[in-house]
Each structure stands twice: as structure tokens, then as C-alpha cells.
Amino acid sequence: MIGFRALVVALGSVASVSAIGSPFGFARSTTGGAGGTQVTPTTTAQLVSYLSDSTTRTIILTTMFDFSNYYGTTTGTICKPWSCSPNPQWMIDSSNHWCDSYASTKTTGTYYNSGTSTSYALKVGSNKTLLGQGSSAGIKGIGLLIAGVSNVIIQNINIVDIKHCALCLGWRRYQHSGLFARLWVRIQFDTRRAKLLTVKTGIDHNYIKNVGRQFIVTGFDPATQVTISNNFFDGQATYSTGCDGHHYWVALFAGKSDTITFARNYVYYTAGRGPHTGGTSGYYQWVHITNNYFNNISGHAIDSSTGSVVLVEGNYFNSVTTPSVSGSAGNEYFITSSSHVSTCTSTMGRTCQANTLASSGSVSHANTAVLTTLESQSAVVSYVPMAASAVPAFVLANAGTGKIN
């Protein structure tokens, strides 16, 4: 059970290749570039063009494309908001002069422009599959921007060493605190303009590392029918907000009406918000967090805030200080007991699974309003979660690149 059905065709061949059979969860009807043309870019310029145009296509990456210096460099003010040591993250100053609050650490630095804003991201058009060959293909120094489009699959690629974001789905105004000068990666769903709707997106079997802030962001307009599955979020970093080598802030799901499946991912060596959901009154996010392996988390894993409706089941938390933030404003049903399982199973009409908390903190979130809200969502009801005890072995065997071909 890999979710996105495994590729049997060797990607090195010239024969037409489709990325997957069909995703599961909220993105289950996503087909990406299936039925369109197939291309294998050899230059960064070709990749930019293939991704951004309106042609239905599967784009096969056979190597690492380095965009670090694609947009040149800027010399400007940087500062250290964190006073810990060693190796706190540096931050690039923003238009609101964030660094003035840390005047004693202000200095001048030169940094790549790639990844410092959505203007310097790889824009992805509708009906695209971006598919990596083997285990080492991908993009470096820049993130992907999926903005107001539909039917996109990102699969089996490495996304590394970016200041801003790796996968950005629906980004509008969350840059008020400036951008980090080191290690910011994101996949972003961009919704900077009013009522941009991003629909049908599958993010599967990718490896993301060296991040300054969120790995994945949905922004503030709707990101619907999204599945984030079988990814390896590697939080080990030289620079971090806590100076402990743990990356802070895995994902932000904050759209006006997000529907997201977050399943079978490996969240490793992070410090918080993996994911953070909600935060805006009047918005809602329906999120199913299931069968993920959270390992060695020095802070918290899940943070459900205002407007979010989150079902957490069948996950394995190992050495997680705080599996879910207490006293949060969101609606969360975090299954920890047989009675929780029974209530969920009765409401959903299928077997639910308890989470396992191994050498981890306790959780007491069991808001049954989550179940009554999500019982009408076939993406949640039709998913059959594995027992949490099986999750570590499954995730370690399947998450990340090089596992599907």
C-alpha cells in the first residue's frame, strides 16, 4: 500500500510515462499531466517554461536543477532574531524593518534572490505532473508556486536549500515578518490575489530539506482537494531557531476553505507546527492527519488553531515532546483510547485507529464536532488507516524519493 500506485515503467526509457495511478484522500481525482505530452528538460530555462505554460504535460527530471543564482543576488540588511547559540538562523530584513527590533545583531549580507519571495519561485500551471527519476533528481535553491490552478502532481523529487519555501499553495500575505537568509524551502499554494482557488494537488514521495520556515504553505485563499503523502520532511539543519539543529515549522494550512489529507509522511527532527492549521476567524480547514511517523520532535507536532477541523488517527509519535498543543482554539479529535476509537468508528462507519505515543507527551483533544463535520467527507470516510504500530516500518520503507520506480 503506497497510496500513489507504484511506477513499474523505468523512467529512463522513452516510452510515455504517467506519474501514478490515482492519489488517495482529498486529491483522489487528481491526474496531473496524464494524457498530455512528455518532456525531459535539460536546462533551467526549459524547466521554467514547461512548468508555467498551459499545456498538459508530464515533466521528467533526470538530474538536480540548481536555481540558487538564477535571479542573481542582493546585498542588504540581515539580523539574528534568536539569541541562542550555536548557529541561530539569520533573517533578511523586510519592508517593515523587522531587524530594527534586533539592532544589536544587524549587519549586511549578500544572499541569493531565488526563494526570497513568490516573484522568485517556480510557477506551476494547471494539468502538470513533475516527476523525478531515481532518487537524486529535483530542484535546488528555489520553491514551487501553485497559484490559482488545478490538477497538479509533484512526485519523487528533492527540493533543497531554499530561503523561502518549497511547495507554496495559496500564499497571500504571510511575509509580514520578513524572510530568512538561510535555509528556507517551501511548496506554496499562492493566493495573493483575491479568490484564487487552487484545486486538486497531489504532493507525493518527495524529500525536502534545509528550510528557513514552512516546508508547505496553503496561504489564505482556498486550497482544496489536496493530498500530501509519503514525503520525507527532514528537519536536521545546521541553523535553527532553537540552536538545537531541529527545524521549526513544517507546514501552514490556513486557507479560507482548505481540504487536506496529510498521510504517511515522515516528519523528522523538527521543533514545531507540523502542521499548524487555521488561525483566521470565519475560515475553515478540514484536515485528516493519518498514518504519519513523527520522530524526534523537540517541541510540538500538531497545532490546531481557529477554524480548523482536524482528525488525528493512526499516527506514531516517537520522542515527541508535545504531540499536540494544549488549549488550542481549533477543533481536534486526537484518538488515544479505545473509547475514542469506538466513537470515531461509530460516526465514520469504518474502523478508526488510535495514535501511539512512544516516549512522548500526553494529549487530551477529543472534540466530537470534528467527527460530525467530517463524516460527510468521502475522502476521510473511504480512507482505511493502518494500525499505528505498523506506521514506522511502512513510512521508513516508503517515504521520500527513489521508492516508487
Q: Is the pTM of this model over 0.85?
A: yes
Distance CA 290, CA 301 (A): 13
Mean pLDDT, the chain, rounded, equals: 86
pLDDT digits (tens, 9 = 90+) for 266-300: 999 999 999 999 999 999 999 999 999 999 999 99
Evaluate if residue 325 carries a pLDDT over 50: yes
Closest alpha carbon to 222 in 200, 244, 199: 199
Residues tagged active-site? 273
CA distance to 32, 62, 121, 267, 380, per residue, from 139 (Å): 19, 11, 11, 20, 32
Per-residue model confidence (pLDDT) at position 80: 86
Give yes or no for a contact between 131 and 11, defined as CB atoms under 8 angstroms apart. Answer: yes
HSE-CB of 129 using CA atoms within 13 angstroms: 30
Distance CA 126, CA 250 (A): 25
Confidence category of residue 128, pLDDT binned at 50, 70, 90: very high
Per-residue model confidence (pLDDT) at position 404: 85
| Other CB atoms within 10 A of residue 329 CB | 13
Per-residue model confidence (pLDDT) at position 82: 85
pLDDT digits (tens, 9 = 90+) for 210-224: 876 789 988 888 899
Q: Which three cell numbers stand for residue 14?
A: 522513452
Give yes or no for a contact between 292 and 391, defined as CB atoms under 8 angstroms apart. Answer: yes
Angle at 260 between CA 175 and CA 206, to 5 degrees: 75
Confidence category of residue 117, pLDDT binned at 50, 70, 90: confident
Evaluate if residue 89 carries a pLDDT over 90: no
pLDDT digits (tens, 9 = 90+) for 163-195: 645 555 543 333 322 222 222 334 565 433 334
Neighbouring residues of 125: CB distance < 8 A, sequence distance ≥ 6? 51, 52, 53, 54, 55, 149
